[in-house]
Amino acid sequence: MALTPSQMVPLGTPLPLAALQQALAGGDARPVSGEPFADPVADRPLLVLFLCAHCPFVKHVEAEIGRLVRDHPALQLLAIASNSTITHPQDGPAGLAAQAAAQGWRFPYLFDGSQRLARAFQAACTPDPFLYAWQSGQHRLVYRGQFDGSRPGADQPCDGADIRAAIAAVLAGRAVNPEQRPAIGCNIKWRPGEEPEWAR
């Protein structure tokens, strides 16, 4: 396990919707559980989470993800798993489907077998959250960073304080605080020899 921070993609970056649509149309992004993914609804925030089945940092936030969905019905959520099954077969579609079933997740969960979506979003770790708000006719990035200050094995429980504050601001029509701390987790497990330059 290599502890890796999120890339902290510039705020205001548009959602890479074309890459997402192409990956789905070409079968590079395979739905493994939950509802089918359609183009995100305008005027509603979209939270994209890069997850996997085995990572202890993901396991630490699994229950909080379920609470976020229940507490924010206006929030659209999409989960993506991009780990290579060459090195981590437990993060393949069967493992992801079992994870979603165990957690009672009903949101779309995609297996990014080609890792093209991880590259398009510049995802670096698991979990790696990206919150988009509807601005100027498209979804734009307003938060990327940690769920909260808790970590696996520490005494502080996961309450999602940081990401909840960002979601609350978006839903209330307020600006999200730009002072954001990176997410920390296991690195995306790139295919051997195919790591993007920024992940090396």
pLDDT at position 192 is: 84
14: β partners:
140
Which secondary-structure segment (H or E) carries 174?
none
- Over the stretch 23-44, which tens digit does the pLDDT of each residue have? 998 888 999 998 888 889 998 9
Q: pLDDT (tens digit, 9 = 90+) per residue, 85-102?
A: 998 999 999 999 999 999
Domains of the chain in start order, with CATH, are: 3-36+43-195 (3.40.30.10)
pLDDT by residue (tens digit) across 120-149? 999 999 999 999 999 989 999 999 999 999
Percent of the chain with pLDDT over 90: 82
Q: Classify residue 113 as exposed, middle or buried by CB count within 10 Å of its CB (0-12, 13-18, 19+).
A: buried
pLDDT of residue 1: 54
Q: Closest by alpha carbon to 131, among 68, 198, 66? A: 68
Asked if residue 164 has pLDDT above 90, the reply is: yes
Q: Per 3-state DSSP, what percentage of the chain is helix, strand, and coil (rounded to 5)? A: 30, 25, 50
**pTM, to two decimals:** 0.96
Q: Could you tell me how far CA 62 lies from the centroid of its own chain?
A: 12
26 Cβ contact partners less than 8 Å away, ≥ 6 residues apart: none
- Can you read off the two tokens belonging to residue 199? 């992940």
Q: What is the 3-state secondary structure (H, E, C) of 59-72?
A: HHHHHHHHHHHHHC
